[in-house]
Structure 1
Amino acid sequence: MHSDDRQTVFGYDDRHLLFRLVVEVGEGPADGQIVGMTTLVRCRSFIGWLYLAAAIPFHKAIIPSLLMAVERSG
């Protein structure tokens, strides 16, 4: 894991996937902040590809909802 004032990187590696989640915080308009998230995945096997294919639709639905929740709570 890497973390500083503007960026945190979480990671997990297993036999099938190498996974990283990068959360970045930047300056926004009117003294606000902009939060961005990037997911990096490297498949290491066919099972990794199958897992990723099943997870992507959920990922696309969940991440925007999480970011909206952060925006509302801030």
Structure 2
Amino acid sequence: MNGTALAVAPDPGCDSLLPGHDFVDAYQVRADVPGLEARQAADAILKHPPGWIKQLMAARNRVVRLFQLKTVEMAMDDPRSPQGKVGGFPIVAQSPREVVLGFNDKHLDFRISVTVLAAGGAATLVTVCTLVKTNNLLGRAYLTTILPFHRIIVRHLLEHASFS
């Protein structure tokens, strides 16, 4: 298990990932793995969530379908994500240091940035930054509703990721 996921100031470079965003947060954990690349970190964080997170996402998907919004599965089928997906989220951009995930929908647009930074010795700092841009009242209501869950889920995924 990793250390505690701490809330950190988002990297100023995150702003360019989603101009005009209404929400941004970032959490960071120290992984005792030297040379960890961003794609490896993103896979470790997002590919195998625990059952309770899968159940929350399934409930979320049932609700958003009622409003004709995209589910993660719908975004996965989008042919405009030629770089692939991580944990069901389309890859927007990737490099050894950062993987950017996300998609745009009529209610909101979001990006998830997973970055890695050598922390000296045999450790890597892994940061997850989330940005959301709401597009209408439904998007603002959705964001308000999911924020408490978002914070718990991101911290849990970071703290329990199997980095190796």
Normalising by structure 2, what TM-score? Answer: 0.43
More helix by share: 1
Residues in 2 aligned to 1:27 and 1:3: alpha-carbon distance in whole angstroms: 17
Once the 2 structures are TM-superposed, how far is the Cα of residue 19 of structure 1 from its aligned partner?
0.6
More strand by share: 1
Q: Which residue, 113, 117, 123 being the options, matches 1:22?
A: 113
Residues in 1 aligned to 2:160 and 2:124: alpha-carbon distance in whole angstroms: 14
Structure 2 gaps of 5+ residues are 1-91
Once the 2 structures are TM-superposed, how far is the Cα of residue 53 of structure 1 from its aligned partner?
0.4
Amino acid aligned to 1:14: D
Amino acid aligned to 1:42: K
3-state DSSP of counterpart to 1:15: coil
> How is 1:19-58 mapped onto 2 (pairs within 5 angstroms)?
19-58=110-149
Residues in 1 aligned to 2:135 and 2:117: alpha-carbon distance in whole angstroms: 32
Once the 2 structures are TM-superposed, how far is the Cα of residue 37 of structure 1 from its aligned partner?
0.4
Percent pairwise identity? 33
Structure ranking higher on relative contact order (CA contacts 8 Å, 6+ apart): 2
Following TM superposition, the consecutive aligned residue runs of length 4 or more in structure 1 with deviations greater than 4 angstroms are none
3-state DSSP of counterpart to 1:31: coil
Once the 2 structures are TM-superposed, how far is the Cα of residue 48 of structure 1 from its aligned partner?
0.1
Residues in 1 aligned to 2:138 and 2:123: alpha-carbon distance in whole angstroms: 42
